[in-house]
Amino acid sequence: MTAAGALTEQDVAAVRKATAAGQPVTVWFTAAAVGVPAGRSAKVSAVGDPADGDFIQVRPAGSRDTMFCSPNELTRTRPPRGAAASAAAGRPEAKRATASASSASPAAARAVPSAPVAVPGPSPAATEAPPAPGPKPAARTGTARGRAARPAGMTVTLEVTVGGEWSVEVRSGTKRVVPAMPVQAADVAAAARSLPSAVAEAIEASLERARQQQRDRVERLRSELDAAQRVLEQLDV
């Protein structure tokens, strides 16, 4: 279900353009955001590929960590100040009003002259009043969100190209915590020595292929350099 005021495709395009130009972009979390309160502000750090699902990287206000969100979890419409406080303040008043209505029923019953048939049972209003308090579903919703916000498993992916260039990516559940970033082959080789032998052997085989490619390239460049040197010497005669 789309949250009210969630980012549209046009909003995402505008945020992407502003972020690429180095301009600060402020967004606010909608009720669909998991693990953060609705209405909290954040700064957009980067906008990735929509195919990733949660592709908008933001840094919540007051935090140094970043997280990835979907357009449905963010809005560019600033929520009115005090809206959340007003909603929270309204609930106790509703409870007090219900309690007053409940207490008024027995008082009204006492005001009526007692009769033998009317004394045994409370009035229908007094019987139905106790189930009235309504904020409990919201509390259950908050508890459900708390369970959903628990940290998911962490996945670290190490990739190497045909040319021997390594990169690493980190995901927490379906959220990409660290985008693919380059890693030095020497660091990969050092880390491989601490891993199980089967993993270390596979990494070492890939590193050896990369070394051989570089050796072949050096030989090829050396041959080209020798040929160029000979031509230069002939031209100097």
pLDDT tens digits, 207-236: 888 889 889 999 999 999 999 999 998 898
Query: Phi first, then psi: what are they for 82, rounded to 5°?
Result: 80, 5
Q: What is the pLDDT of residues 86-105, one digit of tens each?
A: 434 444 443 443 434 344 44
For the chain, residues with pLDDT lower than 70 are 82-152, 173
Instruction: Give residue 214's Cα distance to chain centre.
Output: 40
Q: Cα(first)–Cα(last) distance of the chain, in Å?
A: 81
Q: Residue 52: what pLDDT?
A: 83
Distance CA 142, CA 88 (A): 13
Q: Residue 236: what pLDDT?
A: 87
> Please, what is the angle between helix 197-236 and helix 185-192, to 10°?
150
